[in-house]
Amino acid sequence: MATAKETFLRAFNEAFMSGDRDAVLASVTDDVQWHLIGEEKIEGKAAFEEALNRMHQHDNVTLSIDTMITHGVTAAVEGKIHVNTEQGEKIYAFCDTYRFNKHKDGMIKQIHSFIIEEQKGI
């Protein structure tokens, strides 16, 4: 049985993938920090929303979550994003680590996102 935090993180990731910006923004603090490892660091809810608006939306996206680990104010979610494009399917492996502003019923204060495109045949 999933914990409350696991249920929250699954819903957050599904909202993120489906483009439900209202649900995503309702899940983060005003001073949220999002560090896309190897790319950029986004600070504050306004910058976070701006980054969401810049992201490309795909209609044919499938999210699969393989692992969720939660403990206190920290969590990690690992899985794959399958994107169907005109050029074929692309698969991205990801791992996001989270820090919440409080233990129970907390909001996301910090995200570190690691994402790579999987290469076919490897």
Summarised one tens digit per residue, pLDDT across range 30-87 is 999 999 999 999 999 999 999 998 876 667 889 999 999 999 999 999 999 999 888 8
Indicate whether 93 pLDDT > 60. Answer: yes
What is residue 58's predicted lDDT score, i.e. its pLDDT? 66
User: Mean pLDDT score of the chain, rounded to an integer?
Assistant: 93
What is residue 59's predicted lDDT score, i.e. its pLDDT? 72
Indicate whether 25 pLDDT > 90. Answer: yes
User: 59: exposed, middle or buried (C-beta count within 10 Å: 0-12, 13-18, 19+)?
Assistant: exposed
What is residue 63's predicted lDDT score, i.e. its pLDDT? 94
| DSSP, residue by residue, 7-46 | HHHHHHHHHHHHT-HHHHHTTEEEEEEEEETTTEEEESHH
Tell me how far CA of residue 19 lies from CA of 49, 52, 57, 59, 70, in angstroms.
11, 8, 7, 10, 24
Residue identified by tokens 């995200």 is 111
Amino acid at site 30: D
What is residue 50's predicted lDDT score, i.e. its pLDDT? 95
Domains of the chain by start residue, with CATH = 4-117 (3.10.450.50)
The residue among 2 and 75 whose pLDDT is bigger is 75
Mean pLDDT for the stretch of residues 95-120:
94
Mean pLDDT for the stretch of residues 91-116:
96
Mean pLDDT for the stretch of residues 104-117:
96
The residue among 119 and 75 whose pLDDT is bigger is 75
